Amino acid sequence: MKRIICLMFSLVLLGCANSPPSPQTLTLYFSPEQVSLTAEQNRKIADFLANNPYHQITAFVAPADLDNPFQALLQGQKRIQAVSNLSASKEIPLRLEYVPKQTTDTLILKRQ
């Protein structure tokens, strides 16, 4: 009986030790005119933040694919605000970076 209990306990510990690591980056793609998060994007960000609650997260935001550079910058700022609101609601610090040379209409969340 002791052997069975020890075996079960060791299997549980082994299973916990072998759990897959949480992802360190999340890449989201936007349409050029999109400024708010879709339900799917909202869910993915919430899952990413839930899996990395004690880490510093950096959001790398690219400009929108628009002809007017100023409008592209404004679109990027609105996207940053949407992600920032979600991280603030989860009380997870978020470092924001605007990366003009990144692929347009993308947002990358990265765990530090």
Sequence-ordered list of residues with C-beta below 8 angstroms from that of 109, at least 6 positions apart, any chain: 25, 26, 27, 28, 45, 48, 57, 58, 59, 60, 83
pLDDT at 43: 93
Share of the chain above pLDDT 90, in %: 13
pLDDT at 6: 62
| Tokens 């969340």, located at residue | 109
Q: Where are the domains of the chain?
A: 22-111
- Backbone φ and ψ for 55, nearest 5 degrees, come out as -115, 155
Name which of 71, 98, 72 is nearest 83 in CA terms.
Answer: 98
pTM, to two decimals = 0.72
pLDDT digits (tens, 9 = 90+) for 12-38: 555 554 445 556 899 999 888 888 889
Pick the CATH number of 22-111 from 3.30.1330.60, 3.30.420.40, 3.20.10.10, 1.10.10.10: 3.30.1330.60
Say how far apart CA 26 and CA 7 lie, in whole Å: 38
pLDDT digits (tens, 9 = 90+) for 38-50: 999 999 999 998 8
Region 81-105: what's the mean pLDDT?
87
Query: What Cα–Cα distance (Å) separates residue 66 from each residue in 5, 76, 79, 89?
Result: 63, 11, 14, 30
